[in-house]
Every structure is written in C-alpha cells, then in structure tokens.
Amino acid sequence: MRRIDVIFAGLGVFAAGGILYWGFGIAGFDAANAGVWSQFLLVIGLLGWVSTYLYRALTKNMTYVQQLKDYEEAVLEKRYAEMSPEARAKLEAEVLEVKQQRKQSQES
C-alpha cells in the first residue's frame, strides 16, 4: 500500500465516523449517544478488518508470500528450461526415486 492510499484510507475512516455520527443525529439520538454508537461501529469495523488481516497472515495467504512463491516457481522453471536433456532425465529419475522412497516409508 502506498502512502497516498494510507492517507485516503485514514480520511475515509474519519469521514465514515462523521457520517455515522450525523446519521445517528438525524435518527434522533442525542449527541452523546450518537458519538458512542458511531465509535462502537467504527471499532467493530476495525476489529473486522484486523481479523481478516490475521486470517491472511496465519494462513500465509498474503500478497508478499504469493509473490515469493511465484518468483521461486519462475526461477525453477527457468533453470529447468536451461538444463540439458541428460540433466533433465537425471533429475526426473532422482525425483521418481525420492517419491518411491516416500511411498515405501509411508506404507511401513
């Protein structure tokens, strides 16, 4: 997120608080209750947003992690493409051997 995005997000939250306060005032709430309820809804929204962040962080479903996986995959694909046919065959044989060893160790 860029700095300008953070500034706009902050202004948006500030404006949302004012709109909520104004809306509660229109609905007939006195100033104190309108302030309390608008703050309550803003805090609930903030907790909801933080919970989505925590979920993405704990499940490693964040933008950085995805970019890193994509980069690592691209590097491996490039290295594989640059390998000679003999080296590819050797690598594929090693991978097959490791898979068979894992399968045997899981069965026993």
The pTM of this model reads: 0.59
Q: For residue 37, how many other CB atoms are within 10 A of its CB?
A: 16
Rounded distance, CA 10 to CA 3, Å?
A: 11
Rounded distance, CA 95 to CA 107, Å?
A: 18
- How confident is the model at residue 39, as a pLDDT? 96
Residue 89 identity = A
**Structure confidence by residue, pLDDT tens digits, 7-64:** 999 999 999 999 999 999 999 999 999 999 999 999 999 999 999 989 988 998 888 8
DSSP state of 60: T
